[in-house]
Structure 1
Amino acid sequence: MTAQRPLSSFELVYFGSETHLGSVPTGGMPLFIGSTVHGLLDVEILRRVLDELAAQHPLLRSKPVADADGTLYFRRDDAYRPHLEIADGGEAEYLDLVNAPQGWRDGLFRAHLLRDGDRDRIVLVIHHGIADGRSAFALLAQLWQRYTAHATGTALPQPDFDQELPEAIDIQLAGVVSDAEIAGWLDQIRAGAAIMGPESAPQTLPLDGIDNDPLGRFAVQRIELDTNETQNLVDTARAEGLSVNSLLSGAALVAVRSQLEPATGRLPMFCGHAVDLRSELKLPAHTMLNCASGVGTFALVPESAKLIDIAHEVAAGMLAAKEQREAPIFLLASQRVQDEVTASILAAAPTVAISNIGRLPAHSTPDGIRHIRDDIYAMGPGMPPKLTVFTIGDRLTIQVEYDTARHSRTRMGKVSLALIDALRGIA
């Protein structure tokens, strides 16, 4: 059984220092995933469930170790038990947590329980090098399934400790993406950059952030839709022949355009999209592994842009990216760039990024526990502004996330309000 394996080139980007994947700062990045509920959770059941999750997913109980020549390995530690820290706290303490430095010497998976009156918030902390948003939400769903089973006396199968460590996504992709595809895509990127002038560079928000923001460097603003608002948004997308992702991406570009220089005509804007690669390899959604790549869509956005028009431009770009297999190719191509010009092209910041997890079933909870909301958060210094979108049951949440050292809370607050206005205008 594979109880140890080397970190791949892709994984090393997440376990490095000041490393990036494209424009995303990845080195040492934590991923936070959790739920807030009405009602008090049983701490002993919670500890048992955390142990079972670690037992179910070998990467959660692994540690990076270096051999004599410095090569990093994942080593499975079947004795590992995730630490659970319990403290009083609500939203302010949650924001303190996501802004705090995270150490990984003692393990890559742990949890916090924040208690605020009759509300509990469970937060799982996972190293982003072993998980992405899709697997994190799957893990959270498993937590609630197992917690509810224990609370109601229903038996669930116990995890198999002998599972092998899953192979890294770039190692798996190498079997389905050819060298010719990678070389051709890089040639296409270089050729496109050669014919584009400075006026074609994607517009980005002005840098007006501050150092040492008293509320924390990494910020999040939530836009939570109720069931009717969520359904209206879905119905609008369907009526226009669009995905919800393209509709929200168009809204994001229109919202950012409202904060750029007026009366300057159609501005080039670029939306980055996180893409889950599990479908390329037919991996189950619950596979605990970082399988996230990215693609980009380009749009020319006027000051008085119609959201639907921009959403259709995004949809066309997403279709082209899918047909060209851009997401799997980009992940491998980014490892093969050797010249500074191509590296700078791939590292260019998008106007805005969006990570859309999609629609997920409502959590199962026992009597006395009522689900309020989920949160997911992953930010690093210098990361471009991004939207994280997910639908739990029949309620959609949009998180506007940013680095306050780059963008002020005032400006990003205006972006959030413009996003709300744009969505209200179509739904």
Structure 2
Amino acid sequence: MLWEPEDVVRVLDPSEQRFVRHATFTGRSVTVRGELDPVALGAAFAALQRAFPILVCRIVEDAEENGILLRPGHIEPVGAWVSFGDPDEVRIPAESLSPRAQLGYLDVVLAEEDRARVTLFVHHSVADAGHCVELFARLWGYYTDHVETGSIAAGPREYPESAESLLARRGVVRGPRSGLEGVTRPLVVADAVGVVQSSQPASPALARPARVQLDPAETARVLELARTRAVSVNGLVTAAVLRAFAAVYGVDQVGCVYPVDLRRRLDPPVAAAAGTNVSGLAAFTTTEFDDVVTLARRIGTALHDDLATGVIEQSVLHFPDFFGPTRVHSTAGHIALTNTGTVPTFRAPDGLILDDYEIVYLSAHPRPSTGASAAVTFLVYTYLGRLTLARLGGGPRAVELLSAAADELTWDAADHEAASA
């Protein structure tokens, strides 16, 4: 046995288990201009670890490869890693990054001419997008406090709960529909790699999505288009991605799956850092591609209906059917799209500029997946007034996807502006 019973916090729930097999860490990274104080940043990270003790917990796996969350015990926390290098690169840290040691790491790369890169890696089992952004914002807040006052006030918080636990306490039980029926297909042998037979983990792997960024003027036009046409930005972006995918790959039917943060939709609402992965999955499939606005409106209507009927929450309770060794359905071949919305401007001392932000993923010990494989994955976020579209996977033709999706957004926004003039 690798732990004592008193060390166990709990066995992870299915919404969290799906990130255990690969030891998936999600990273939030910024480039920094100005004089960065690495000692103050190390103190800020230590404060973050005290305030959010989930970061210094560990995950181990039992014989069935179930992830078990453990308290840190008397293990000394791993502090911030600081070294010199190229801040334009997001790297795999040279030091060992393992969920068996702790679940949050900070990598700081310093360079000459007052440039740096700071990347916070957090295990995806214990933090989704909303949680990670909250942690990153707290880190920079603590850093600013230390630089400006020499002290940091940070009291410890409770461990975050799973979506399943939060739903159960609100009386939500599993029903007959998952909400993913429109993108579900029969489970075939090719989908079942790794389900029956375990494999040895591979070396750590970093995924840095390719990106295209709209400039502030283009981003503002997209926001104005959404406002004047009474559609959501998420609907517009999703519609643009679906139209681009259909055009690039020459298909007449496209399905997509995207997470929906449930925190503000639960009663009572859930704070950003009070839950681990508090997102349901929404699904949308279409054979009609219309124009961007019309398609965005249909996407928004479908989401509204699924939220109103509670189907989005139901997807979480059906996760065992879609992820992991007991799954019976597949959504392989769908488009996965995660829109984390507007990223807040992080606090920073005078003279320090956090001038770029991106999302990366690191698999500490990747193994063949037991979950559905997306045809391509898109990430969407807005930082400092710039809308970013990012892509992972998609095969040889995927290099065309980002520019095609951006063209869908910017052409329609510009066209609408000209027509309204």
TM-score (normalised: structure 1): 0.78
Alignment partners' CA distance in 1, 2:206 and 2:395:
10
Q: Which residue identity is paired with 1:174? A: A
Alignment partners' CA distance in 2, 1:423 and 1:99:
39
Name the counterpart of 2:222: 233
Deviations 1:254-286 (A, max 9, x none): 11111122xx7xx22112111222222511123
1:15 CA displacement: 5.6
Deviations 1:293-352 (A, max 9, x none): 3111122245xx4222221221122112212222221111223689x99822xx213542
Deviations 1:121-170 (A, max 9, x none): 1001111111011111111111111111111127542323xx43233221
Q: Secondary structure at the match of 2:89?
A: helix
Q: Secondary structure at the match of 1:111?
A: strand
1:134 counterpart = 2:126: no
Alignment partners' CA distance in 2, 1:337 and 1:273:
14
Q: Secondary structure at the match of 1:415?
A: helix
Name the counterpart of 1:212: none
Question: CA 1:66–1:343 in structure 2 vs 1: closer, same or farther (change >3 Å)?
Answer: closer
Alignment partners' CA distance in 2, 1:93 and 1:393:
21
1:104 CA displacement: 1.9
Q: Secondary structure at the match of 2:345?
A: coil
Deviations 1:187-221 (A, max 9, x none): x867x799x99xxxxxxxxxxxxxxxxxx883522
Alignment partners' CA distance in 2, 1:282 and 1:237:
26
Name the counterpart of 2:272: 285
Question: CA 1:288–1:120 in structure 2 vs 1: closer, same or farther (change >3 Å)?
Answer: farther
Name the counterpart of 1:23: none
Which stretch of structure 1 is more off in the superposition, 231-240 or 371-380?
371-380
Q: Secondary structure at the match of 2:249?
A: coil
Q: Is this contact kept in 2: 1:271–1:350, CA < 8 A?
A: no
1:244 counterpart = 2:238: no
1:66 CA displacement: 6.8
Alignment partners' CA distance in 1, 2:328 and 2:95:
30
Deviations 1:58-109 (A, max 9, x none): 2112123579998834314476433322233336631x42999952222111
Q: Secondary structure at the match of 1:105?
A: coil
Deviations 1:355-398 (A, max 9, x none): 11122331221122112111112377755422222223433222
For residues 350-365 of structure 1, what are the structure 2 equivalents within 5 Å? 351-365=334-348
Give the number of aligned pairs.
Answer: 377
TM-score (normalised: structure 2): 0.79
Name the counterpart of 1:201: none
Alignment partners' CA distance in 2, 1:337 and 1:426:
36
Name the counterpart of 1:54: 49
Name the counterpart of 1:407: 395
1:166 counterpart = 2:126: no
1:273 counterpart = 2:258: yes
Name the counterpart of 2:190: none
Alignment partners' CA distance in 1, 2:19 and 2:344:
32
Q: Is this contact kept in 2: 1:254–1:301, CA < 8 A?
A: no
Question: CA 1:173–1:3 in structure 2 vs 1: closer, same or farther (change >3 Å)?
Answer: farther
1:183 counterpart = 2:175: yes
1:399 CA displacement: 1.8
Gaps of 5+ in 1: 18-26, 198-215
Name the counterpart of 1:209: none
Q: Secondary structure at the match of 1:321?
A: helix
What is the alpha-carbon root mean square deviation over aligned residues? 3.4
Alignment partners' CA distance in 1, 2:206 and 2:52:
32
Alignment partners' CA distance in 1, 2:280 and 2:63:
32
Name the counterpart of 1:335: 320
Q: Among residues 240, 253, 256, which one is paired with 2:245 in the alignment?
A: 256
Gaps of 5+ in 2: 1-5, 187-204, 364-368, 414-421
Q: Which residue identity is paired with 1:176? A: R
Q: Is this contact kept in 2: 1:132–1:289, CA < 8 A?
A: yes
1:14 CA displacement: 3.6
1:31 CA displacement: 0.7
Q: Secondary structure at the match of 1:129?
A: coil
Alignment partners' CA distance in 1, 2:159 and 2:374:
30
Question: CA 1:309–1:342 in structure 2 vs 1: closer, same or farther (change >3 Å)?
Answer: farther
Name the counterpart of 1:206: none
Alignment partners' CA distance in 2, 1:417 and 1:337:
31
Q: Secondary structure at the match of 1:31?
A: strand
1:253 CA displacement: 0.6
Q: Among residues 7, 10, 16, which one is paired with 1:6 in the alignment?
A: 10
Name the counterpart of 1:104: 99
Question: CA 1:71–1:386 in structure 2 vs 1: closer, same or farther (change >3 Å)?
Answer: closer
Alignment partners' CA distance in 1, 2:249 and 2:291:
16
Name the counterpart of 1:122: 118
Q: Which residue identity is paired with 1:168? A: S
Question: CA 1:310–1:116 in structure 2 vs 1: closer, same or farther (change >3 Å)?
Answer: farther
1:31 counterpart = 2:26: yes
Q: Which residue identity is paired with 2:12? A: S
